[in-house]
Structure 1
Amino acid sequence: MAATRARIAVDAMGGDHAPDEIVAGAIRASEELDVTILLVGDRQQIEQSLQHHIQSPNIEIVEADGAISMEEGITELRRKPNASINVAMDLVKQNRADAVVSAGHSGAAMAAATLRLGRIKGIDRPAIGAVFPTMLAGKSVIILDVGANVDCRPKYLEQFALMGTIYSEYVLGVEQPKVGLLNIGEESTKGNDLALQTYELLEANPKIPFIGNAEGRDVLSGRFDVIVCDGFVGNVLLKFAEAVGEILLQIMREELPQGWRGKVGSSLLKPNLKRLKQRIDHAEHGGALLFGVAGICIISHGSSQAPSIFNAIRLAKEAISHQVIDRIQADRKQTEEDGLAQSATVNSEL
């Protein structure tokens, strides 16, 4: 029996370049990724954008009334129940879509996902997980949280580590993921209270393949497959990494020789330059997965253009195909059952 085609709701009104770039990325995804795209937003604007493309049978429009702008933020979510991000989340809630992709206001997307989809039982706080390239070709590291929680408790970071481990193993294909805690030193005695308490939890949890602290220089070394931190530090790290990638690409353009020598050199180096761009350009990664909510939600950069939207949809499809939500739910359920069994054993011995 053929696999069911994934249905992905895309917030067509979210982002700096909506809806034209959102639609362009969705069209490409519908043609190359074997998915059905539900473009959520103003029908007239979406149809105008679609006129610039060959019509795809795998594109559907779902009407929504307005969007949550960057200036409005999450306070408008309740006042605009039919805004595009709310309607997109409702499609997942109603099992009419398997995932949501949005390049709109990230805070609004997180709030809409939490309010409409709810958290996975056993997860106290959702976390944004971003995949970074490393110095080792073909190897990535997932870092969470990169912005959902400015302040964290140790148990939140423990849960982030569990979710990151599942993603690394089943989506990124790492057989035995190595988990690290972002800190100011490798020693277990280094760091603030949050780091010290989290270290103890990670070390004591048999489900977490924890190998110790990760310093800033270790993040992209390839030594770790999963790195956990609070959202404040993670977001600074994310923005810094994006800036470094952009600077490297700019330097590369500036340093290539001009004139005919530059053209010949660029032609010879084109395959290498393309691979370099794929490794360091954040647009190639598409976005970040919101872990911990009961549905797949990909949050893309506000400045996302068509290639980034395409990759965000690809990321959503991978999460669907590898049943990320089901695996996290199963892990949390097993943890709860183990806890109940342990309590029953203790009580019977008393």
Structure 2
Amino acid sequence: MHKIAFDVMGSDKGLIPAINAGLHFLQNHHDVEIFFVGNQKAIENHLATVPNCPKNYQIIDTPEVIGMDGGIMDIRRKPDSSLVKALELVKNKSVDGMLTGGSSAAFIAGAHFILGEFEGVGKPGFMPTWPTIVENHTVLFLDAGANTDNSAQDLYNFAKMATIYAQTVLHQERPRVSLLNIGEEKSKGKDVHREAYELLKADQKLNFQGNIEAREMISGSTDIIVTDGFSGNIALKAMEGALKNLMKVIKTTLTKSLIRKIPALFLKKAFKEVGTKFDYKNYAGAILLGVNGVVFKSHGSSDEQAFGSTLRMTYEAIQGDVLAKIKTKMEVES
């Protein structure tokens, strides 16, 4: 039985979408037990309204909440918060992994102070998954914002950890690795990029493809993209915003007049498929690689669909024993 701690407090839409996502997941995964972490009374009040509610869950009562605007110090100020308790369940091995939709800053700080990084890792990295234009192909991207500054060694470590994740969870035998840069030439970028390029190229165990520019991030030409957390967070949000607004422009343009609306009806299914493919809610979770635990962060604005996606990713990482495999490699090679 796989056990997952689910911090259902602190996200933008409240606990109901989170609990509903958990219950739906339990209905389809009888080998999972979810620990709903949060205000027990509020959780129980909602569960009482759910017909045919699955029973493979527990409730961990916590009197405190770290809100979306919570910071690093809230980990110390609110030791009885749902986020802290969920991380402690991972540390104590009461569960196999956890997820939250709460504050990113508090989550990263909590993972650092409560779980700690394992040997061979300087800094952990946020790794979301996103779709590409290639059918049934996704790309792993890190760091997406756990750090504002990284060394060349950090980027090299990200590539090694992500490679194991891709092999274990995505079943890619030899995933391609690329380095996000301002040009394809190895001389491009700052010192950290040039140094990282040489480290990645020298490791024959990595399938390093060289530099990749931001415009190629969803082209499907690579499987893993590594970068520093500052650039990565900007790139991630720029891409999400561009895709979201592009779909809005397409919809507005196609429905501007009756003449356009008629042929648009015949293409409705195709546009819906494109919208679904690039909907962030289907790839809402990001694992924090490099800490002593399987810990996922979902978007703060996650709805039931997005939380369900993050639950699936958490389950797959636990099922593949990805943490043990990454730790073994990093500790042996440190």
Q: Which residue of 2 aligns with 1:203?
A: 201
2:5 partner amino acid: A
Distance 1:240 1:163 in 2: 25
Question: What aligned pairs does 1:229-308 form with structure 2 within 5 A after superposition?
Answer: 229-257=227-255, 266=265, 269=267, 271-308=269-306
1:179 deviation in Å? 0.5
Per-residue CA shift, 1:271-324, capped at 9, x if unaligned?
534432332011111211110011111111111111000110000001111111
Q: Which runs of 5+ in 2 are unaligned?
A: none
2:40 partner amino acid: R
Distance 1:284 1:323 in 2: 22
Per-residue CA shift, 1:240-287, capped at 9, x if unaligned?
12112322332344345488x969965x65653443233201111121
1:33 aligns with 2:38: no
SS at match of 2:179: strand
Per-residue CA shift, 1:46-96, capped at 9, x if unaligned?
122223322211222111121111333121111211110010011111221
SS at match of 1:276: helix
Q: Which runs of 5+ in 1 are unaligned?
A: 337-350
SS at match of 1:78: helix
Question: What aligned pairs does 1:2-21 form with structure 2 within 5 A after superposition?
Answer: 5-21=1-17
TM-score with structure 2 setting the length: 0.93
1:115 deviation in Å? 1.4
Do 1:19 and 1:49's aligned partners in 2 also have CA atoms closer than 8 Å?
Answer: no
1:125 deviation in Å? 0.6
SS at match of 1:15: coil
1:205 deviation in Å? 1.7
SS at match of 1:277: helix
SS at match of 1:107: helix
Do 1:245 and 1:282's aligned partners in 2 also have CA atoms closer than 8 Å?
Answer: no
Q: Which residue of 1 aligns with 2:90?
A: 92
- Cα 1:271–1:317, aligned 2, differ >3 Å: closer, same or farther? farther
Distance 2:254 2:29 in 1: 35
1:47 partner amino acid: E
SS at match of 2:157: helix
Distance 1:287 1:121 in 2: 25
Do 1:67 and 1:85's aligned partners in 2 also have CA atoms closer than 8 Å?
Answer: yes
Q: RMSD of the TM alignment (CA)? A: 2.0
Q: Which residue of 2 aligns with 1:339?
A: none
Q: Which residue of 2 aligns with 1:346?
A: none
- Bigger mean CA offset, 236-245 vs 85-94: 236-245
Distance 2:22 2:270 in 1: 28
SS at match of 2:126: strand
Q: Which residue of 2 aligns with 1:52?
A: 49
1:42 aligns with 2:18: no
- Bigger mean CA offset, 274-283 vs 305-314: 274-283
Distance 2:253 2:297 in 1: 34
Q: What count of residue pairs does the alignment treat as equivalent? A: 331
Distance 2:16 2:223 in 1: 36
Do 2:184 and 2:213's aligned partners in 1 also have CA atoms closer than 8 Å?
Answer: yes
1:177 partner amino acid: P
Distance 1:279 1:322 in 2: 25
2:226 partner amino acid: V
1:316 aligns with 2:314: yes
- Cα 1:270–1:167, aligned 2, differ >3 Å: closer, same or farther? farther
Distance 1:176 1:93 in 2: 32
Q: Which residue of 1 aligns with 2:115?
A: 117
Distance 1:241 1:131 in 2: 13
Percent pairwise identity: 35
SS at match of 2:77: coil
- Cα 1:32–1:77, aligned 2, differ >3 Å: closer, same or farther? same
Q: Which residue of 2 aligns with 1:343?
A: none
- Bigger mean CA offset, 169-178 vs 153-162: 169-178
Do 1:289 and 1:299's aligned partners in 2 also have CA atoms closer than 8 Å?
Answer: yes
SS at match of 2:73: helix
Q: Which residue of 2 aligns with 1:163?
A: 161
Distance 1:51 1:45 in 2: 10
Question: What aligned pairs does 1:219-238 form with structure 2 within 5 A after superposition?
Answer: 219-238=217-236
SS at match of 1:302: coil
Do 2:127 and 2:143's aligned partners in 1 also have CA atoms closer than 8 Å?
Answer: yes
